[in-house]
Structure 1
Amino acid sequence: MTLKEIARETGLSVSTVSRIINKENYKCTSREAEEKVWEIVRTSGYTPNLMAKELKKSGSKRPMSRNISCLFARTDNSVAEQFFSPIAQAVEQEALVQGCPLGYSFSMLHISEIQSERINKLEKDGVVVLGKPGAELDRLLREKFKNVVVVGIDVNEVPFDRVRCDGYEAAGKAIRHLYDLGHRRIGYAGLKDISAYDAYFDFFTEHNMKIDESIIHIYKSAFGIDYKAACAFLQAERELLPTAYFCSCDMIAIGIIRACRELKIRVPEDVSVVGFDNIEMGQIVSPMLTTINVPMREMGRMAVKILLDRINKGHTSQISIEFPTELIKRESSTAIQVKKA
């Protein structure tokens, strides 16, 4: 597959395809065009001729090819795959641009002999780990690899290079947004053993607000839109609904919005809903979801750059890069009229 063939299949010019693949000022192109190009690149196995480009720049020195892999460090209580998918795509794209396409990629649900064997087959130059590794995976990574970068939310305690976002601070932004809109009876829906859950409780404590356990709903998994569970607790709370819900991820928030629609509960007029992670589906659901944006693609690209820098001896000490999060205000949250005593 050549650039000319990719251009013909996408209907774009060769120069536009080249800019997209080489990350050279392609902001003028649409997201649809970008995704179309990368889909063809993935399915065709196209690799840009960066070797020739580097030889042209340097005169004669041949750059060393690197082999890297990508590993999803997922457990049963993991965040939704929808969160890590854009990061994984960015890792793949940046690796391709850097001339080292991913050699292997898989999810890690449980450590077993089979999974250990699969880790042994990973490309040995380095690995990008998506999500926080558990104790056993942590041990295996330290045994098998000299070069590891971990990407995710709250991965600050891992003994590797890190590309991260502060989930606690980000959750605080979401709850503060609802508080500033006048909400005081704010429910929580999401996972328990994460920083967003801690931020929720700490915010209430710091503002001397009463915590109502009846409007706290713990999910075992963030995967999928479990609107039936949302229907059940919203129906039970119907006589005394919270004025808002903060959700630990967008998939849960979307499930609540869907349940509200089925129960004829208006969002945001009757209850505001705020999510976390800004997946694309949040812009499609009606009303569009207010959420916290995590710069997933930027994090994925940075992870590859850090990994290659470590492989090439650019740094030897552990480094941690934190990306800022941002509150994205859309249609699912609104102010309420606070009644005077």
Structure 2
Amino acid sequence: MVTSKDVAKAANVSHMTVSRAFQPGSSIKPETRERVLAIAQKLNYIPNYNAKSLVMNRNFSVGLFFSSMEGTSEVFLGDLVSQIYQLLPQNYLLSVNSVEQLSGTTDKNYVIQSILGRFDGIIVATQSEKDDPFIESLQELKIPVVVMNRYVEKKEVYNVSTNESQGIRELVDHLVAQKIKTAGTIKGYPGFYSTQKRHREFVEDCQRAGIAIVNTAVEDGMYNIPSGYQAMKEIIQRNEILPNVIFCGNDDMAIGAIKACHDLNIRVPQDLSIVGFDDTSYAQYISPGLTTVHKPYKEMAKKAMEILLQLMKGESLNEYKYKIDSQLVIRESVKKQK
């Protein structure tokens, strides 16, 4: 097996120079790095990261923890994992996990044993206050951690969240401009912070704008397509006269709702307008194109990873809280009322 010493000899550099050539951001000259890497490739040299991790006290692994895999949209999960993976330093692995799996136990030692020595840093994509004990455990272990998605009240937690109020306000203003007078909702996964917040803010903004909420057109969902389909079917079957619009807590449920309307001969948007939340990658490709609130998850992921990398380097940051605005994306699923 070719070793770093073989590469160093062939490149006429020191053993440490070879090691630095494989470290992004090291002070080695660019031309020296290129020459060392070219020789390493020619000799089929593969760095031994297991040995390096022992020497450098690193695991070359970042953990990404979601509140619950069950209540997390598959598209949102996939897009977020892809975005964070692209931002990983070279030679790092990404481990995707569920907070629920660890926070469901009362044995704190089990949580510690499951985390300690496995990750150089952790991002928690939180949806629920139930995640707070898990986040506190990570802080006690002195592991670099960034919490994203939900705003966390605790001051000394590095936190990247979305100003969802901005996008919902823009959405309701758009509905008013389209002369929408009545609305229903399909809520998201029970117990998730986003479920309660989005529904509450939509209802409050509608009330201020003079849009009446039809109580018989309010249903629970599970943040997935089948639940949106079933909830929409129940709303249609229960209401002889439908409201002008249905606000769905995420795009997955909006897709299910549109399919239910199609199956029950309700035209979208001619007979019923439907709007969503998230602006996932397929929202623009369905028919009709979905009017939705853009959740800046890519921007959040980029900021969270940027902060985590600084913490992993031992750098200190002045700010703990970062909030990014959401915004309305207008497509074809809303029709102006006469």
Output the TM-score relative to the length of structure 1.
0.73
Structure 1 pair 54/179, CA: closer, same or farther in 2 (3 Å)? farther
Amino acid at match of 1:86: D
User: Once the two structures are superposed, what CA deviation does each residue of 1:15-63 show, in whole Å capped at 9, x if it has no partner?
Assistant: xxxxxxxxxxxxxxxxxxxxxxxxxxxxxxxxx9554875225989xxx
Q: Rate the CA distance shift 1:80–1:116 in 2: closer, same or farther, 3 A.
A: farther
CA–CA separation in structure 1 for the residues paired with 2:332 and 2:302: 30
Q: CA deviation at 1:188?
A: 1.1
In our comparison, the structure showing a higher alpha carbon Rg is 2
CA displacement 1:158-179 (0-9 Å, x = unmatched): 5421222112322222222212
1:141 Cα offset (Å): 1.9
1:223 aligns with 224
Q: 1:211: how far off?
A: 3.3
Instruction: Return the letter of the residue paired with 2:310.
Output: D
8 Å contact 2:61–2:92 — kept in the other structure? Answer: yes
Check whether the contact 1:160–1:318 (CA below 8 A) recurs between aligned residues.
Answer: no
**Alpha-carbon distance in 2 for matches of 1:81, 1:149:** 22
In 2, Cα distance between the equivalents of 1:247 and 1:208?
19
Aligned equivalents of 2:157, 2:74: Cα separation in 1: 22
Question: What is the match of residue 198 of structure 1?
Answer: 200
User: Aligned partner of 1:157: which letter?
Assistant: E
Would you say the 8 A contact 2:182–2:243 is kept in 1? yes
* Structure 2 residue aligned with 1:91: 84
How far apart, in 2, do the equivalents of 1:287 and 1:115 lie? 46
Match for residue 264 of structure 1?
Answer: 265
Give the structure 1 partner of residue 126 of structure 2.
Answer: 131
* Cα 1:68/1:129, change in 2 over 3 Å: farther
1:296–1:265 CA distance, 2 compared to 1 (3 A): same
SS of aligned partner of 1:139? helix
8 Å CA contact 1:108, 1:115 repeated in 2: no
Worse overlay, 284-293 or 103-112: 103-112
* Structure 2 residue 75 is matched with structure 1 residue 82: yes
Q: 1:162 to 1:275 in 2, by over 3 A?
A: same
* CA shift digits 1:289-317 (9 cap, x unpaired): 11112232232122111111123243244
Pair 1:58–1:85, CA change in 2 (3 A): same
- CA shift, 1:212, in A, is 2.7
Amino-acid identity (%): 24
Aligned with residue 189 of structure 1, among 166, 186, 191? 186
Asked if residue 142 in structure 1 is aligned to residue 143 in structure 2, the reply is no
1:109-258 equivalences under 5 Å are 109-110=100-101, 111=103, 112=105, 117-123=113-119, 125-132=120-127, 134-152=131-149, 154-158=150-154, 159-191=156-188, 193-219=195-221, 221-226=222-227, 227-237=229-239, 239-258=240-259
The separation in 1 between residues aligned to 2:152 and 2:336, in whole angstroms, is 35
Equivalent residue letter for 2:218: I
Once residues 49 and 331 of structure 1 are traced to their aligned partners in structure 2, the CA distance between those partners, rounded to angstroms, is 50
> What is the rounded CA distance, in whole Å, between the counterparts of 1:58 and 1:166 in structure 2?
45
CA deviation after TM superposition for structure 1 residue 241, in Å: 0.2
Which whole-Å deviations, capped at 9, do the CAs of 1:233-252 have from their partners, x for residues lacking one? Answer: 21222x21011111110011
C-alpha distance in 2, partners of 1:151/1:261? 36
Q: Does structure 2 retain, via aligned residues, the 8 Å contact 1:169–1:199?
A: no
Distance in 2 (alpha carbons) for counterparts of 1:122 and 1:294: 31
Would you say the 8 A contact 1:66–1:100 is kept in 2? no
The Cα of 1:148 is off from its aligned counterpart by 0.9
Cross-structure match for 1:329 = 330
CA RMSD for the aligned pairs?
2.8
Q: 1:190 to 1:66 in 2, by over 3 A?
A: same
Partners of 2:313 and 2:59 lie apart in 1 by 9
1:137, distance to aligned residue in structure 2 (A): 1.5
Whether the 8 Å contact between 2:181 and 2:210 is mirrored in structure 1 is no
Q: Number of paired residues?
A: 281
Q: Which has the higher strand share?
A: 2
Q: Is structure 2 residue 291 aligned with structure 1 residue 290?
A: yes
Mind listing any 5+ residue stretches in structure 1 that lack a counterpart? 1-47
User: 1:249 touches 1:276 (CA, 8 Å); kept in 2?
Assistant: yes
Matched to 1:138, the amino acid is I
Contact 1:244/1:273 (CA < 8 Å) preserved in 2? yes
The aligned runs of 1:274-313 (5 Å cut-off) are 274-313=275-314
- Give 3-state SS (helix, strand or coil) of 1:213's partner: strand
Structure 2 letter corresponding to 1:148: V
